[in-house]
Amino acid sequence: MADKETKVADKLGNTLDALFKAGVHFGYDKSRRHPSTKNYIFGNKNRVELFDLEKTNEALDKALHFIEELGRNNKVLLFAASKFEALEALRATALALDLPYMAGRWVGGVFTNFGEIKKRVAVLEKLREQKEAGELSKYTKKERLMIDREIARLEKNFAGIVSMKDLPAALFVIDPKTEHIAVREAKDKNIPVLALANSDCDVSLVTYAIPGNDASKGSIAYVLSRVVEAYKKGKVNLQ
């Protein structure tokens, strides 16, 4: 029993150390703090508020358990972020799990007007197929240029969700304050929202909030690496 407790304590210590090294504990200036994050704040240093990493870890564990269940049941988790610091890690995470993503501006209506979004995705797929098959050669040079521009525009908006044939089982966002439109649409469609949320976010709007630094590449990459582990763990135990 003592050995088991020691292992649990060591694991917790290692996790807290990893969170610390990744800079997950850094919040914003107290003046920017949303009231809903008050209980997650441990203190401050040089006017920057610091998250209580034990509470962050508890929240992260709950989120990861839910994500593991999604993987176990082969459910789709959509990733979304528009802030520059998150884009690279977000794409890498989604690709590693073969899941959809929106890395860049959230296109309004992805959830609330999904039928129309599917039509736009279908146009992208058709134009891709025609280009790959060389079927665009029948058009004039000017017409091909216009079609290429349309493909580029559609790629920018929808390339990451081509595989998403139905509404996802859940949404994971980096910074729910920035992604407030996506969060609101998810709520309208009763889609659970998971989020890495800094001290300026209203975490009451999120189903599974992970209180922590959502503006640092290191923090974002660490949390998303844990998400990958959890989803893959669920897939291994796929029933």
Domain ranges for the chain, please list them.
2-106+167-236, 114-160
pLDDT of residue 3: 53
| pLDDT exceeds 90 at position 79 | yes
**Band (239; pLDDT cuts 50, 70, 90):** low
Q: How is domain 114-160 classified at the architecture level of CATH? A: Orthogonal Bundle (1.10)
Distance between alpha carbon 80 and the CA centroid of its chain, in Å?
A: 5
Average pLDDT over residues 148-173: 95
Average pLDDT over residues 127-144: 82
Both tokens of 60, joined, read: 């992260």
Q: Concatenate the DSSP letters of all residues of 137-202 into one string.
A: GGS-HHHHHHHHHHHHHHHHHHGGGTT--S--SEEEEE-TTTTHHHHHHHHHTT--EEEEE-TTS-
Distance between alpha carbon 156 and the CA centroid of its chain, in Å?
A: 17
- The closest of 131, 127, 174 to 153, measured between CA atoms, is 127
**Band (139; pLDDT cuts 50, 70, 90):** confident
Distance CA 176, CA 200 (A): 10
Q: Provide the 8-state DSSP code for 209.
A: E
Least confident of 75-84, 94-103, 129-138, 174-183: 129-138
pTM comes to 0.91
| pLDDT exceeds 90 at position 193 | yes
- Stated as kind and residue range, the H or E segment containing 66 is helix 53-72
The residue length of the chain stands at 239
**Which of these CATH numbers, 3.40.800.10, 3.40.50.10490, 3.40.50.150, 3.30.70.100, describes 2-106+167-236?**
3.40.50.10490
pLDDT of residue 141: 84
- For residue 81, the number of C-alpha atoms closer than 13 Å in the C-beta half-sphere is 27
Quick one: what percent of the chain has pLDDT higher than 90?
80
| pLDDT exceeds 70 at position 85 | yes
Least confident of 43-52, 132-141, 173-182, 198-207: 132-141
